[in-house]
């Protein structure tokens, strides 16, 4: 009798035919002894012996479900006891029914309780193992259900339990692989250990393989000018990488918007779906350049018609630099207001002093360069230029009053009306004194009178003079001072080569260090200080150079000594620096001493 026929024999008939005792409604066969086997030639004894030999531990046998309990299914394999199979071993517990014939693995003929130990899951694994080996050798794919998350990856049931590392789940490792539990996924078998019965899967390789196939297809189809859809995959400082369903393209920051962008994340974020234009396809380097702003017309194409020169516009300050402020007129169109175009009258050093990012301002279009994509704007042009009337209002020779607003090394700026400054150069501060710095005469806040010397409206400059308020005393210097005159004054300034003495009419005379004393003077500060009264003799007058040479020691010369010194002074070349007077005096003194010695010898 075959195993199938044996399974179809009900228990009562089996016991009746075999002569084995029964216990209650069901009874179990007793294994015959060797002696009984040899003596007995009953056909059921022979059948039982064959069945015991066919049912071996570790083998896959057929069985029939005879009962379904909440936690297990009772399966009869035709042995002396049934086995219980936990319900979780069945992929779909609801799909099994009483009477279904299934294949199970016989793990043990008897456990401690004397019942057979069966496993449906292990039987499926054993049957599937050979199939997995074939799939692996052929580089095929398998489908399986994610059973659980373990350290480093997931367990996937593909007929047998296999390991899927977390790094092989996707091209971009997911943040939470727990969400895959319970899902049926398709993977590629990448490694198999038959001895340990270990299988390693990769879903990533399968996805990359599919992406490569799509990539090749896309490269063959893509052409510049095509509009495609893609998902933002990654964002960098220079742009965003767009996934075109298997092919990555670069959307550079300069091709994101016609307007100003500081960072790509201002336009998109990872996961966004975008509609972009294919700008270039490099099949050799496998690179695709994409554009987003090209989906809309370039606003600079009709810029002259939209913003003609002289037009009043309104915009928002988007950036401030040391030389000006950029104003956005519309997306992709910015104009520059140079710092010099902020005000007609105010001297603005930094644009940030009057403007801030975000301010909405009005301006006038001054110039447009479509090729360079530049627009020059002016804010001061919103008001009349006050300098257009300055030349008429302040003619040369006009007397004005103002307040010293600022001092520089070369002069002083005087505000003669709000926003209108004139400059007094150091050379126009005094007829008689040498002014090295305007602070010698003026300080900020001083109210002064001046004369308009020149007006340049185009350069917005007014030249003023202080000394021009009075007559030039040097024109009549010969009438006031003669060589040989004894004068009195006060020390106003000391220098390494001598001292300046203030005389009448605010005229300065110079005493060279050699003319201070008959004795040698090493440092002028050792004998004179500012404010000291001085009595000196005029020894040189140069009207052209506006210089008067003085000598303190010559104030006590007699007529003969003075005449000798005068002869030496006359020998000085026109325009020779006054410091040469000291050498002239020394020569005169030496000559007098030599003459006296000669007279003594006679």
Mean predicted confidence (pLDDT) in 178-192 = 89
Read off the pLDDT band of 568 (50, 70, 90): low
Q: In 248-317, which ranges are continuous DSSP H helix? A: 303-306
Mean predicted confidence (pLDDT) in 249-253 = 92
Same domain, 481 and 537: yes
Same domain, 480 and 584: yes
Range of the domain at 232: 222-295
Least confident range of 13-17, 158-162, 278-282, 420-424: 13-17
- The reply to whether 378 falls in a domain is no
Same domain, 114 and 7: yes
Same domain, 461 and 495: no
The residue with greater pLDDT, 252 or 504, is 252
% of the chain beyond a pLDDT of 70? 84
Q: With 70 as the cut, is the pLDDT of residue 596 above it?
A: no
CA 196-200-206 angle, 5° bins: 155
Q: With 80 as the cut, is the pLDDT of residue 562 above it?
A: no
Same domain, 9 and 60: yes
The residue with greater pLDDT, 581 or 381, is 381
pLDDT of residue 548: 85
Same domain, 328 and 436: no
- The reply to whether 21 falls in a domain is yes
Least confident range of 143-157, 220-234, 504-518, 567-581: 567-581
The residue with greater pLDDT, 315 or 477, is 315
- The reply to whether 177 falls in a domain is no
Domain end residue (candidates: 469, 485, 517)? 469
Mean predicted confidence (pLDDT) in 517-532 = 88
Domain count, the chain: 5
Read off the pLDDT band of 435 (50, 70, 90): confident
Q: What is the CATH number of the domain that holds 415?
A: 2.40.50.140
Helix orientation angle between 581-601 and 559-570, rounded to the nearest 10 degrees: 130
Cross-strand partners of 461: 456
- The reply to whether 422 falls in a domain is yes
pLDDT of residue 567: 66
Same domain, 445 and 544: no
Other Cβ atoms closer than 10 A to 288: 25
pLDDT of residue 367: 93
Same domain, 549 and 495: yes
Q: What contacts 24+ positions apart, CB below 8 Å, involve 220-226?
A: 222/247, 222/278, 222/281, 222/288, 223/278, 223/281, 224/278, 224/279, 224/280, 224/281, 225/277, 225/278, 226/277, 226/278
Same domain, 313 and 290: no
Mean predicted confidence (pLDDT) in 489-499 = 88
Q: With 80 as the cut, is the pLDDT of residue 45 above it?
A: no
Same domain, 505 and 590: yes
Read off the pLDDT band of 52 (50, 70, 90): very low
Domain end residue (candidates: 122, 157, 190)? 122
Least confident range of 344-353, 515-524, 559-568: 559-568
Q: With 60 as the cut, is the pLDDT of residue 99 above it?
A: yes
- The reply to whether 133 falls in a domain is no
Phi, psi (degrees; rounded to nearest 5) at 194: -70, -35
- The reply to whether 188 falls in a domain is no
- The reply to whether 161 falls in a domain is no
Read off the pLDDT band of 137 (50, 70, 90): low
Mean predicted confidence (pLDDT) in 140-159 = 89
The residue with greater pLDDT, 88 or 571, is 88
Domain end residue (candidates: 444, 469, 494)? 469
Reported as a single tens digit per residue, the pLDDT across 369-398 is: 888 889 999 999 898 887 777 878 888 888
Same domain, 398 and 514: no
pLDDT of residue 36: 45
- The reply to whether 526 falls in a domain is yes
Same domain, 454 and 506: no
Q: With 80 as the cut, is the pLDDT of residue 159 above it?
A: no
């Amino acid at each position: 009798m075959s195993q199938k026929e044996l399974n179809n024999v009900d228990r009562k008939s089996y016991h009746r035919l075999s002569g084995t005792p029964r216990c209650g409604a069901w009874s179990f066969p007793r294994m015959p002894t060797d002696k009984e086997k040899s003596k007995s030639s009953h056909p059921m004894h022979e059948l039982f012996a064959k069945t015991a030999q066919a049912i071996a531990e570790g083998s896959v046998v057929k069985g029939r479900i005879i009962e379904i309990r909440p936690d297990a299914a009772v399966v009869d394999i035709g042995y002396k006891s049934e086995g219980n199979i936990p319900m979780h071993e069945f992929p779909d517990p609801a799909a099994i029914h009483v009477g279904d014939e299934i294949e199970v693995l016989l793990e043990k003929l008897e456990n401690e309780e004397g019942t057979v130990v069966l496993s449906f899951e292990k039987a499926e694994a054993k049957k599937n193992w050979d199939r997995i080996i074939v799939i692996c050798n052929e580089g095929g794919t398998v489908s399986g259900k994610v059973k659980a998350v373990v350290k480093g990856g997931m367990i996937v049931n593909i007929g047998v339990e296999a390991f899927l590392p977390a790094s092989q789940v996707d091209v971009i490792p997911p943040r939470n692989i727990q969400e895959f539990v319970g899902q049926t996924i398709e993977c590629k078998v990448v490694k198999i250990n038959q001895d340990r019965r270990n299988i390693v899967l990769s879903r990533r390789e399968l996805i990359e393989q599919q992406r490569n196939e799509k990539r090749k297809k896309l490269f063959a189809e893509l052409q510049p000018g095509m509009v495609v859809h893609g998902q933002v995959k990654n964002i960098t400082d220079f742009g965003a990488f767009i996934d075109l369903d298997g092919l990555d393209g670069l959307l550079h920051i300069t091709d994101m918007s016609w307007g100003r962008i500081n960072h790509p994340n201002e336009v998109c974020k990872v996961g966004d779906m975008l509609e972009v234009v294919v700008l270039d396809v490099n099949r050799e380097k496998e690179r695709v350049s994409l554009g987003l702003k090209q989906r809309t017309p370039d606003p600079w194409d009709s810029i002259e018609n939209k913003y003609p020169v002289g037009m009043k516009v309104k915009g928002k300050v988007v950036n401030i630099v040391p030389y000006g402020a950029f104003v956005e007129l519309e997306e992709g169109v910015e104009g520059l207001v140079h710092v010099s175009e902020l005000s007609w009258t105010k001297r603005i050093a930094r644009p940030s002093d009057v403007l801030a990012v975000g301010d909405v301002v009005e301006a006038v279009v001054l110039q447009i360069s479509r090729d360079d994509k530049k627009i020059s704007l002016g804010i001061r042009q919103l008001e009349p230029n006050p300098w257009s009337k300055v030349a008429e209002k302040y003619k040369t020779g006009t007397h004005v009053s103002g307040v010293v607003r600022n001092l520089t090394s070369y002069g002083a700026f005087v505000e003669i009306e709000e926003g209108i400054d004139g400059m007094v150069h150091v050379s126009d501060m005094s007829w008689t004194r040498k002014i090295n710095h305007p602070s010698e005469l003026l300080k900020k806040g001083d109210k002064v009178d001046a004369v308009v010397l020149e007006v340049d409206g185009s350069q917005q400059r007014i030249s003023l003079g202080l000394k021009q308020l009075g007559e030039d005393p040097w024109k009549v210097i010969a009438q006031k001072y003669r060589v040989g005159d004894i004068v009195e004054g006060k020390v106003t300034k000391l220098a390494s080569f001598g001292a300046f003495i203030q005389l009448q009419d605010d005229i300065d005379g110079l005493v060279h260090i050699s003319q201070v004393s008959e004795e040698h003077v090493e440092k002028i500060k050792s004998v004179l200080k500012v404010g000291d009264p001085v009595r000196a003799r005029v020894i040189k007058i140069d009207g052209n150079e506006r210089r008067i040479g003085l000598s303190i020691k010559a104030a006590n010369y007699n007529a003969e000594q003075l005449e000798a010194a005068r002869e030496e002074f006359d020998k000085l070349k026109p325009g020779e620096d006054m410091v040469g007077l000291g050498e002239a005096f020394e020569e005169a003194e030496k000559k007098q001493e030599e003459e006296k010695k000669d007279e003594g010898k006679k």
